[in-house]
Amino acid sequence: MDRLTAEQKIIELSKLIEEHNRHYHLEDNPQITDQEYDQLMRELQDLEDHFPDLVAPDSPTQRVGSTPLSAFEKVEHKTPMLSLGNAFNESDLRDFDRRVRQGLGNQPVKYVCELKIDGLAVSLRYENGYFITGATRGDGTTGEDITQNLRTIRSVPLRLKEPLTLEVRGEAYMGKTAFEQLNKERAEKEEALFANPRNSAAGSLRQLDPKIAASRKLSTFIYGIGEIEGKRIDSHSEGLTYLEELGFCVNEERRAFDSIDDVISFVNNWTTKRPELKYEIDGIVIKVDSYAHQQELGFTAKSPRWAIAYKFPAEEGITVLTDIEVSLGRTGVVTPTAILKPVILAGTEVKRASLHNEDIITQKGLMLGDHVIVRKAGDIIPEIVGVLKERRTGEERPFQMPTHCPECGSELVRLPDEVALRCINPECPAVIREGMSHFVSRQAMNIDGLGEKVVAQLFANGLITSVADLYYLHDKQDQLLQMERMGQKSVDNLLQAIEASKANSVERLLFGLGIRLVGAKAAKVLAEHFGSMDQIMQATTEELVTIDEIGPKMAESIRTYFSMPQVHELIDKLKAAGVTMEYKGMRVQAGDDLPFSGKTVVLTGTLSKMSRQEAEEKIALLGGKITGSVSKKTDLVIAGEKAGSKLEKAEKLGITILDEEAFIALLS
């Protein structure tokens, strides 16, 4: 494809992808499947890879997370992001109305009611229509620069429909479906679960690695204007409508009222209806609509006098604890789960609640048959708040955690400094089954077609007893064909996927083995440092702890794992099957003579000779550290075409600036 045709195609694809983003996020009306959307993104990425000088700063591909940050820079809000006063009942709302009317000399007043999204407050700044900086609320005066993470959210426009300079405020949140999926994935990895969507959104946006934020499926609702240049707006409702026209995602469930009685009816309505929403809300925000009235009412030291947040009461219910079940995860941890007499909370039926570990049961003083208080205060995961001991009849029974594994019968142990009980038998069927599902997962060996049901069938039919057995299934095609829903094509696809996984770089295998405390990132660090599985297996605790991000507990866990004879047998069997034991990725060079050694580098503008990702990789490989914003700690700024505010700031601070030609010369 020639350059002119590619340019036209890139413009066409970019517009089409952003149009589908609008359908999905602004209108809640997706027009294509996720797979079709991904195909459009791949097509655009391929074109931009071949013509890197055509990559625009607002291209949809620029939402993909880039190089991890070492820390978040501080951002000072030009207009403070103040918190709101709270109302908890009708009387509080009427008091608010009375204060407003008195403050305005009993003039007629109009209120705007909006849903209070349960997420993380953020500020987005645009210059000449382009998204420049995004920050957290922080203490209201100073927040943290999370621009790279916010760029990964599809509902955040990278370019507005008008070339305005403005700052808007909103809420970044995680929808219920995305939250449930995230916690399911974390549970499979035996990682700590997020308590609610608010915590998950906040945790995602405060990740130093933007790729993590990009994977979390976050969304935004914009609810206000901090400042705007060249445009007069007279009311809050007018401002929200204008923000929609600019391309922002603004919550449609907002209403304007002339009386506090109508406001209270709106609040009562959503107190009942909120379970119907696809996202969590924890209240209703009520604001005086007129900006002139807002200015007249002013502020207290902590909050505006013209707005208040009504907070929903906590969702609690009383039910009976009928039983406690225990289950095993892939690392052998035994987790107790409360079985409850069904109770309706926040519009859904609750039958189970996690108890996490034995200590929680002891602390809460739980007995089987107890009447318990269950809470779902805006949370998706129910929890037992307490016990109604006054309702005990004497028929309640104490619960005892098992002393032996319910699956294999091995004695359960509690490792030092841990509250969890574990089955440490590496041949435990339950541990192997859970470990197998982890081994074939996307971040590990990434074997398509090996879902939980297929794994269970393979175990049930005696075709596998360890992960290594997967690589010998080609000798058992007849037995595979006898399994439910496994025709010749399915079997062929499965065996091809298994065969392809042999070529994975060794960090995927290392992560897939499920070593306690070793996540995907630590596996990559280990593989890059040592280069091969053999070297990792032979590494001493002292050698391991010298590596960044590998602490004493992780080092001890790695040594304990590789000290077991069964593990050596497993690795030998995988080697014999042809599974790669070497690191295939690029390795960061070391040395003071490298061009970017010890330097903090910022890229700004568009490069013509390579993509931003390629440039960042080259800088990292030659000892540099990439950050997203310019500060006094920045050593070097590389400025491509159309470099904006970052270049201006670097010039003011006297930071060394290289154009693309000088940058390429330095690389060579």
Regarding the domain delimited by 600-667, which CATH topology (the fold level of the hierarchy) does it fall under?
Answer: Rossmann fold (3.40.50)
Q: Residue 275 CA to chain centroid, in angstroms?
A: 23
Beta-bridge partners for 278: none
6 phi and psi angles, rounded to 5 deg:
-65, -40
Residue among 654, 651, 596 at smallest CA distance from 627: 596
Q: What one-character-per-residue DSSP string does 50-113 give?
A: H-GGG--TT-GGGGS--SPPSSPPEEE-SS-----EEE-SHHHHHHHHHHHHHHTTT----EEE
Other beta carbons less than 10 A from residue 225's beta carbon: 19
In the numeric block, the tokens 């959307």 are attached to 37
* 436 touches 455 (CB < 8 A): yes
Give, as one character, the DSSP assignment of residue 285. Answer: E
Q: What are 71's two structure tokens?
A: 């820390």
Q: What is the pLDDT of residues 258-295, one digit of tens each?
A: 999 999 999 999 988 888 899 989 899 999 999 999 99
- Tell me what the pLDDT averaged over the chain comes to: 87
Q: How far apart are CA 58 and CA 462, in angstroms?
A: 53
Could you tell me the pLDDT band of residue 27, with boundaries at 50, 70 and 90?
Answer: low
* 144 touches 136 (CB < 8 A): yes
- pLDDT, position 551: 87
Residue among 282, 307, 257, 255 at smallest CA distance from 93: 307
* 18 touches 60 (CB < 8 A): yes
Q: Express as a percent the part of the chain with pLDDT over 90.
A: 43
Q: How far apart are CA 141 and CA 81, in angstroms?
A: 7
Could you tell me the pLDDT band of residue 590, with boundaries at 50, 70 and 90?
Answer: low
In the numeric block, the tokens 């700004």 are attached to 604
Range from 62-66, 111-115, 355-359, 510-514 carrying the lowest mean pLDDT: 62-66
- pLDDT, position 70: 58
137-141, 457-461, 532-536, 557-561: range with highest mean pLDDT: 532-536
Q: Is the pLDDT of residue 378 over 70?
A: no
Is the whole model's pTM more than 0.75, yes or no?
no
Could you tell me the pLDDT band of residue 25, with boundaries at 50, 70 and 90?
Answer: low
Question: Is the domain 3-54 a CATH 1.10.287.610 member?
Answer: yes
365 phi and psi angles, rounded to 5 deg:
65, 40
- pLDDT, position 57: 74
Q: What are 209's two structure tokens?
A: 């690695």
> Could you tell me how many residues make up the chain?
668
Residue among 593, 50, 1, 93 at smallest CA distance from 311: 93
Q: What is the pLDDT of residues 302-318, one digit of tens each?
A: 789 999 999 887 678 89
- Amino acid sitting at position 132: I
Q: What are 178's two structure tokens?
A: 């995305």
Domain with CATH 3.30.470.30 in the chain: 75-311
Strand 255-257 versus strand 120-127 pairing type: unpaired
- pLDDT, position 472: 94
* 415 touches 431 (CB < 8 A): no
Kindly report the CATH number that applies to the domain delimited by 429-501. 1.10.150.20
The CATH class for the domain spanning 506-576 reads: mainly alpha
Q: Is the pLDDT of residue 206 over 90?
A: no
Give, as one character, the DSSP assignment of residue 404. Answer: B
Higher pLDDT, 618 or 90: 90
- Amino acid sitting at position 265: S
- pLDDT, position 426: 67
- pLDDT, position 114: 97
Q: Is the pLDDT of residue 71 over 70?
A: no
Q: How far apart are CA 512 and CA 523, in angstroms?
A: 9
Q: What one-character-per-residue DSSP string does 608-654 give?
A: SSS-HHHHHHHHHHTT-EEESS--TT--EEEE-BT--HHHHHHHHHT
Q: Is the pLDDT of residue 586 over 70?
A: no
Residue among 114, 113, 87 at smallest CA distance from 98: 87
* 414 touches 421 (CB < 8 A): yes
Which sign does the torsion angle of CA 650, 656, 662, 668 carry?
A: negative
Give domain 75-311's CATH architecture.
2-Layer Sandwich (3.30)
Mean pLDDT of all residues in 242-249? 94
Residue 116 among the catalytic residues: yes
Range from 15-29, 558-572, 627-641, 642-656 carrying the lowest mean pLDDT: 15-29
Q: Is the pLDDT of residue 592 over 70?
A: no
56-60, 79-83, 589-593: range with highest mean pLDDT: 79-83
Q: How far apart are CA 617 and CA 620, in angstroms?
A: 5
Q: What are 131's two structure tokens?
A: 């998204």
- pLDDT, position 295: 93
Q: How far apart are CA 524 and CA 380, in angstroms?
A: 33
Q: What one-character-per-residue DSSP string does 146-169 give?
A: -HHHHHT-TTS-SB-SS---EEEE
- Amino acid sitting at position 407: E
Domain with CATH 2.40.50.140 in the chain: 318-398
Higher pLDDT, 328 or 194: 328
In the numeric block, the tokens 């025709």 are attached to 487
Regarding the domain delimited by 318-398, which CATH topology (the fold level of the hierarchy) does it fall under?
Answer: OB fold (Dihydrolipoamide Acetyltransferase, E2P) (2.40.50)
Higher pLDDT, 298 or 612: 298
Domain with CATH 1.10.287.610 in the chain: 3-54
Q: What is the pLDDT of residues 534-552, one digit of tens each?
A: 999 999 999 999 887 788 8
Other beta carbons less than 10 A from residue 68's beta carbon: 17
Domain with CATH 3.40.50.10190 in the chain: 600-667
Q: How far apart are CA 629 and CA 449, in angstroms?
A: 42
Element counts in the chain: helices (H) and strands (E): 24, 23
Strands (E), 423-530: none
- pLDDT, position 509: 96
Beta-bridge partners for 309: 86, 285
Other beta carbons less than 10 A from residue 217's beta carbon: 17
In 3-state terms, what secondary structure has residue 204? helix
Backbone region of residue 28 per phi and psi (left: phi > 0; alpha: psi in -120 to 50; beta: other values): left
Instruction: Tell me the Cα Rg of the chain.
Output: 28
- pLDDT, position 609: 82
Domain with CATH 1.10.150.20 in the chain: 429-501, 506-576
Other beta carbons less than 10 A from residue 4's beta carbon: 8
Among 9, 78, 116, 489, which one carries the catalytic annotation?
A: 116
Q: Is the pLDDT of residue 504 over 80?
A: yes
